[in-house]
Amino acid sequence: MSEEKAVAAPFPGVFYRRPDPESPPYVKVGDAVDAGTVVGLIEVMKMFQEVQAGASGHITAVLVENEQAVDAGQTLVTVG
């Protein structure tokens, strides 16, 4: 089994699991991802930055809720 990789927030802000309120989440537990897969967005001062998985594998955990404030370095999801 592969080692899990933590996907961390690159900076503090508000984490969004969905591109808009009517859309499904970018990823959920069990989804296959590659390094470039978008796992969410972080908003800082009305600017949105995509957060990518950074590794190939499957989402093993989603550790933050939609619209939750996050700190820089906080783990958002894990990929295994």
- pLDDT tens track, the chain, 80 positions: 568 999 999 999 999 999 999 999 999 999 999 999 999 999 999 999 999 999 999 999 999 999 999 999 999 999 99
Angle at 62 between CA 59 and CA 65, to 5 degrees: 150
Mean pLDDT of the chain: 96
Pick the CATH number of 5-79 from 2.40.50.100, 3.40.50.1370, 1.10.760.10, 3.40.630.30: 2.40.50.100
CA distance 42 to 37: 15
List the domain boundaries for the chain. Answer: 5-79
Quote the tokens at residue 2. Answer: 């592969």
Residue 40, burial from CB neighbour count under 10 angstroms (0-12, 13-18, 19+): buried
